[in-house]
Amino acid sequence: MKIPFSLFLVGRLLSVRFQSRYDRMRLLRSALLISLVMIPLVLALIFMDGMMDGITEKYITLQDGHIQIEFPERLDERIHFSDSSILSADYVVSGFGIVYSREATAEVRIKGIGEDYFNERRSSQLSFQGSALQKEGAVASVMLSTTVASQLGVQIGDRVAFMIVPDSSSAVVRPVLANVKALYDSGYHELDSSLIFMDIESALRYFPKEKNARTEILVHEGTLSDLASVVTQIESANGTGTLSYATWDEFNGTVYRNFVTSRQVILLVFLMILLVAGVYVGSIAQEMIQDSLQSIALYKTMGATTLSLFLAFLTAVMTVTLLGMTVGVGIGLGIGSQLAVVLSWLAKTGLPGLQYYLLDFPVVISWRPILTICATMLVICSVTVQFSLHRIRKISPLELLQQD
């Protein structure tokens, strides 16, 4: 008897036929407000995950790679890509210096690369104009970001100067002239403001390979969880013995920790929003019970148990909640699928406050965090609703006699 009666009562609580106009508007308003909570949460999740993944991909492909093997001699020419785990291997040289022109100076990270460094994956992360970096005479060739070039007031074909300290144990500062051969733009201001590229032959002259040369490895997505096996594979194939290496989350520890902390803070904010939404859903249940006091007393007089009434009201409230969540998530995903258009427009506005955000990342719907948020919302609401529904136990059949 409990289940059929509960279903009957749920039908009466949700059916348009048996409700007053006020009750119908209350349920519609409740579902709408729950939808309005879910829409920004879904959009924030899409934006947060997309931007953080996009920034991480920029740092990996352009600055550091997935793995950096600290070995002074060239390993890239001895690594075969027949194994599906390795996408590319490049011999690079990294150092730091100050670049200056007649107008300004900038502290930069200088990365020496070969002509074939910008493969398809790296090229997809930036746009550039000019020619590839090639050694021409005694003057180094460099590729500046449009951010640094604008700061220095230079363009393709101009010359810039560097002050380079090639070794931390040396106090000798080396002045260097370089031709600006190309400009690039990755779309992320923080990276563009500090990273420039130099032809590797010149970089090896200014930065000793014993301390500054590395082999940078990019791997396919399926190998990210086991990067150590890639290094083991390289050691076995080349007979180099144990190699010293670092993975992408180690040599960019500060950036990686900032991402983790930011994600945790944002998720905490989401949790607080869901708690507020849960309190609101609890108030819906409280209002439904308040308006149904006489009906509840009548049902108890007719033999309905507290449990059956409890289940009926719980199901009705959670149905409204689930309906509002479904509509909200659907609208959020619909808007989120067009988020790239909005972000592209914002990027073109050139607003100064947006330069510290990545706005050209591909929008990818990640279902796991969205489903996690939805499940958390349902759990919180089911708990808060139960506090309100406990009032059903206190309603006596005698209250039927007290109603007007």
Q: What is the pLDDT of residues 241-251, one digit of tens each?
A: 677 888 887 77
298 shares a domain with 189: no
Distance from C-alpha of 174 to C-alpha of 104, rounded to nearest angstrom: 19
Nearest to 143, CA basis, from 132, 154, 127, 135: 132
User: What pLDDT shows up at residue 316?
Assistant: 83
Q: Is 363 part of any domain?
A: yes
User: What pLDDT shows up at residue 180?
Assistant: 92
Inform me whether the pLDDT recorded for 145 exceeds 90.
yes
Note the Cα 297 to chain centre separation in Å: 52
266 shares a domain with 237: no
Per-residue pLDDT band for 329 (boundaries 50, 70, 90) equals very high
Cβ pair 403, 298 in contact under 8 A: no
User: What pLDDT shows up at residue 31?
Assistant: 86
- Mean pLDDT calculated for residue range 387-391: 81
Which residue would you say has higher pLDDT here, 9 or 213?
A: 213
236 shares a domain with 262: no
29 shares a domain with 92: no
Question: Residue 143, SS3?
Answer: strand
Q: Is 124 part of any domain?
A: yes
Mutual angle of helices 367-389 and 253-291, in 10-degree steps? 30
Give the tens place of pLDDT for each residue, 183-234: 999 888 888 998 999 999 988 888 888 888 888 988 888 777 788 888 887 7
231 shares a domain with 108: yes
User: What pLDDT shows up at residue 55?
Assistant: 85
Inform me whether the pLDDT recorded for 3 exceeds 60.
no
Distance from C-alpha of 152 to C-alpha of 196, rounded to nearest angstrom: 13
Give the tens place of pLDDT for each residue, 115-144: 889 988 898 888 888 887 877 777 889 999
* Structure-token pair, residue 72: 């002074």
- Mean pLDDT calculated for residue range 158-170: 75
User: What pLDDT shows up at residue 399?
Assistant: 60
Domain that holds residue 374: 2-56+256-402
Q: Is 248 part of any domain?
A: no
264 shares a domain with 237: no
Inform me whether the pLDDT recorded for 160 exceeds 70.
yes
279 shares a domain with 229: no
Per-residue pLDDT band for 19 (boundaries 50, 70, 90) equals low
User: What pLDDT shows up at residue 142?
Assistant: 92
Cβ pair 177, 159 in contact under 8 A: yes
User: What pLDDT shows up at residue 396?
Assistant: 72
- Of 243, 275, 301, which closes a domain? 243
User: What pLDDT shows up at residue 330?
Assistant: 93
**Mean of the per-residue pLDDT values of the chain:** 81
Distance from C-alpha of 252 to C-alpha of 45, rounded to nearest angstrom: 24
* Count of domains observed in the chain: 2
Give the tens place of pLDDT for each residue, 271-281: 898 898 888 88
- Of 209, 243, 277, which closes a domain? 243
In the block, residue with structure tokens 């000019």: 130
180 shares a domain with 146: yes
Per-residue pLDDT band for 1 (boundaries 50, 70, 90) equals very low
User: What pLDDT shows up at residue 239?
Assistant: 64
Q: Is 251 part of any domain?
A: no
264 shares a domain with 159: no
279 shares a domain with 183: no
Q: Is 65 part of any domain?
A: no
Q: Is 147 part of any domain?
A: yes
31 shares a domain with 136: no
- Of 219, 243, 267, which closes a domain? 243
- ∠141-145-146 over CA atoms, to 5°? 120
Q: What percent of the chain has pLDDT over 90?
A: 14
- Mean pLDDT calculated for residue range 134-158: 88
Q: Is 61 part of any domain?
A: no
First vs last C-alpha separation in the chain: 30
Q: Is 370 part of any domain?
A: yes
304 shares a domain with 271: yes
Q: What is the pTM of this model?
A: 0.76
